[in-house]
């Protein structure tokens, strides 16, 4: 897990040595009012810490403690939900009552959500809020969460809310190709395999889109030169998400029939490093793409 920093807080991964400080903080009856267990029972908190230390989920997820000037003031998590289906990520936090109204809870929550959406690339993060906890409901709404339903979770009725990632910073990328038919044959197959769809078409170009971003391939009348050279100043390669290792293997296996060849074959699929799962392909026109498996756990 990554250490996160805000203007006032340090969020660091939880450690067994934090148990005593968590006992002092979480036995406050106000903090445990809507918790499914009895946080006034020290054994419950010891078990809570043990569960968090034993968590094994996607890289970059888990539990943080919040420190203000070296003193623990809260705890929060971003973990695979045990209540919601589909392996989605769920977040939550506790802040010591002495710091309610200070803005520290929002500071910590925005750091965790920013880490999820912008560092891990997670499109949606869920929160479960007890039906009888209006303070928490107002808090998550202020963070931009949207209510998508309700149900019985953790033994009581909870509202289900979701935080959605803002559109990516990249609006579109435009590639100029000397041979439009060849580029369309290779990129068209690849984008379709990755779940993109054709977006625009005109006599000298075509684009494919997924979500808010799209990629243009064009043979512009203003083009100079007859071949892309990725080692010269300019675009080196295009990096794209692929959902799973199985999808990566399927695309790499089919790539040679569609004008692509595997680069760095002796190091595949870890040519980018032992913790980076990806495939590197180059087509006959010299364009390189990197296919990165999302949320890879080493």
Domain ranges of the chain: 4-164, 172-293
CB 116 within 8 A of CB 89: yes
What's residue 296's pLDDT? Answer: 44
Q: Which two tokens stand for residue 183?
A: 């580029």
CA distance 152 to 94: 21
**Partners of 91 in the beta sheet?**
78
Burial environment of residue 258 by CB neighbours within 10 A (0 to 12, 13 to 18, 19 or more)? middle
pLDDT tens per residue across span 98-144: 999 999 999 999 999 999 988 888 889 999 999 999 999 999 999 99
Q: Give the CATH class of 4-164.
A: alpha beta
DSSP letter for 117, please. I
pLDDT tens per residue across span 40-78: 888 988 998 999 999 999 989 999 999 999 999 999 999
CA distance 261 to 162: 40
pLDDT at 90 over 80: yes
Residue that has been written with the tokens 């695979």 in this structure: 80
Contacts of 147 (CB under 8 A, 6+ apart): 159, 160, 161
| Sequential DSSP letters for 7-23 | SSEEEEE--GGGHHHHH
Burial environment of residue 35 by CB neighbours within 10 A (0 to 12, 13 to 18, 19 or more)? middle
CATH 3.90.550.10 applies to domain 172-293: no
Q: Which two tokens stand for residue 128?
A: 């479960």
pLDDT tens per residue across span 169-213: 788 999 999 999 999 999 999 999 998 999 999 999 999 998 778
pLDDT tens per residue across span 222-252: 999 998 999 999 999 999 988 889 999 999 9
Q: Which two tokens stand for residue 159?
A: 């509202």
């Amino acid at each position: 897990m990554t250490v996160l920093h805000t203007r006032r807080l340090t969020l660091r991964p939880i450690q067994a040595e934090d148990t005593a400080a968590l006992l002092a903080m979480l036995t406050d009856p106000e903090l445990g009012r809507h918790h499914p267990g009895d946080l006034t029972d020290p054994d419950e908190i010891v078990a809570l810490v043990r569960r968090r230390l034993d968590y094994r989920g996607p890289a970059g997820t888990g539990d943080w403690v919040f420190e203000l000037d070296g003193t623990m003031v809260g705890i929060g998590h971003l973990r695979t939900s045990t209540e919601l289906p589909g392996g989605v990520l769920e977040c939550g936090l506790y802040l010591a009552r002495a710091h309610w109204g200070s803005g520290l809870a929002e500071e910590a929550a925005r750091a965790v959500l920013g880490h999820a959406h912008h560092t891990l690339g997670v499109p949606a993060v869920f929160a479960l809020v007890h039906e009888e906890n209006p303070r928490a409901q107002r808090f998550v709404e202020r963070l931009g969460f949207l209510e998508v339903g309700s149900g019985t979770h953790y033994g009581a009725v909870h509202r289900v809310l979701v935080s959605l990632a803002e559109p990516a910073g990249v609006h579109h990328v435009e590639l100029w190709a000397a041979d439009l038919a060849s580029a369309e044959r290779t990129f068209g197959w690849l984008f379709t395999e990755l779940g993109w769809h054709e977006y625009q078409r005109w006599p000298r170009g075509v684009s494919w889109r997924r979500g808010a971003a799209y990629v243009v391939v064009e043979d512009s009348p203003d083009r100079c030169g007859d071949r892309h050279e990725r080692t010269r100043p300019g675009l080196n390669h295009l990096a794209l998400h692929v959902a799973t290792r199985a999808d990566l293997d399927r695309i790499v296996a089919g790539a040679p029939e569609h004008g692509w060849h595997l680069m760095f074959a002796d190091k595949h699929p870890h040519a980018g490093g032992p913790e980076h799962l990806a495939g590197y392909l180059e087509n006959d026109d010299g364009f390189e793409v990197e296919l990165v498996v999302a949320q890879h756990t080493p």
